[in-house]
Amino acid sequence: MSPWLELGLDSFSNFVLRYGFLAGVAFVGVAYLRKMRSPPVQERPRARQIFREIALSSMSAAIFSAVATGLLWCWAHGYTQLYANVTSRGVPWLILSVLLMVLTHDAYFYWTHRWMHRFRVLWVSHRIHHRSVRPTPWAAFSFDPGEALIQAGILPLIVFTIPAHPAAIFVLTTIMTTTSVWIHCGYELYPAWLRNGRIGRFLMTATAHGAHHGGAAANFGLYFTFWNLALGTAQRQVPDVPCADVRAGDG
C-alpha cells in the first residue's frame, strides 16, 4: 500500500473516531435530556434523517481527509507554512496561532456560508445540509461533496498563509468539530444567563443556528456572531425555532 494512501486512511479513521465520539455523546446526551423533560419539548428525529446525516458526514470525512493528506504532501515538499519544532517559534505563538486560526475560520465560514445562501449555484450543494430542518449532532458535517470541498478549503488557506504547528491544526479541527456538533445538537445547552449576557451575544448558540435551519436568513457564523452583528445578519430567535432549551429556568 502506498504510504500516502495509508496516511489518508489513518487521517480518515482519526477524523471519524473523533467526530463519532463527539456526535455520539451529544446525541445520547440530548436523547436523555429530551426524555427527562415533561412535557416533551421536541419530537424525536426520524431514523431516516439520522442515517442520511451519518452517511453524508462520512463522505465529508473522506473529502476532509483527502485534502489533509494532500496538504501533508505539500508540507513534506516544503510548500506550506507548517513547522515541526515548537521551540522554533515558541509556545506563545503556538497559542496565538490557534486564536488566529479560529478567527480566520470564523470569517471564512461566515462568508462562504452566506454566499451559499445567496448564489444559486452554491445553494444547489448547501440545500442538502438544510434538509435537516431540525438537525441532530450528526448533521454537523452532513454536506454535499461540493460543500464539503468548500468547507475543507479553510485548511489550505491556513497552512499556506499562517505559520502553524500540526498540534495547533489538531486543536483547531477539534474546536471546529466540537462547535459544529454543539450548534447542531437541537437543544440549547448554554444557560440563559450566559446567552443573554454581554458575552453570550457574541457566541453562536444552538438556538441561533437552529433558527437558521428553521428558515431564518441570518446567523451565518460558526463560532461567534461578530460578522452577523456587524453586517445585520444576526437573529437570535424566530417563531417556532427548531431548538429546545433544556436549561429553561436557569436564568
- Whether the CB-CB separation of 135 and 213 falls below 8 Å is answered with yes
- As a whole number, mean pLDDT of residues 117-126 equals 92
27-55 tens-digit pLDDT: 888 877 766 654 444 556 788 999 999 99
DSSP state letter for 82: B
Grade residue 246 by pLDDT with cuts at 50, 70 and 90.
very low
Give phi and psi for 203, each to the nearest 5.
Answer: -105, 140
How far, in Å, CA of 1 to CA of 214, rounded?
46
Give phi and psi for 224, each to the nearest 5.
Answer: -130, 175
Q: What is the pLDDT of residue 23?
A: 94
How far, in Å, CA of 140 to CA of 16, rounded?
12
Give phi and psi for 164, each to the nearest 5.
Answer: -140, 140
pLDDT above 70 covers a percentage of the chain that reads 89
| pTM of the entire predicted model | 0.89
Grade residue 193 by pLDDT with cuts at 50, 70 and 90.
confident
67-109 tens-digit pLDDT: 999 999 999 999 999 999 999 999 999 999 999 999 999 999 9
Q: What is the pLDDT of residue 155?
A: 97
How far, in Å, CA of 134 to CA of 44, rounded?
10
pLDDT above 90 covers a percentage of the chain that reads 67
175-190 tens-digit pLDDT: 999 999 999 988 888 8
Residues 6+ apart with CB under 8 A from 207: 188, 195, 236, 237, 241, 243, 245
Q: What is the pLDDT of residue 142?
A: 96
* Res 65 pLDDT > 60: yes
Q: What is the pLDDT of residue 55?
A: 96
Around Cβ 188, how many Cβ atoms within 10 Å? Answer: 22
Return the C-alpha torsion angle 213, 219, 225, 231, nearest 10: 170
200-237 tens-digit pLDDT: 889 999 989 988 998 888 999 999 999 999 999 988 65
- As a whole number, mean pLDDT of residues 15-26 equals 93
* Res 151 pLDDT > 70: yes
Closest among 212, 144, 223, 216 to 180, alpha carbons compared? 223
How far, in Å, CA of 109 to CA of 39, rounded?
37
Q: What is the pLDDT of residue 187?
A: 82
Q: What is the pLDDT of residue 148?
A: 97
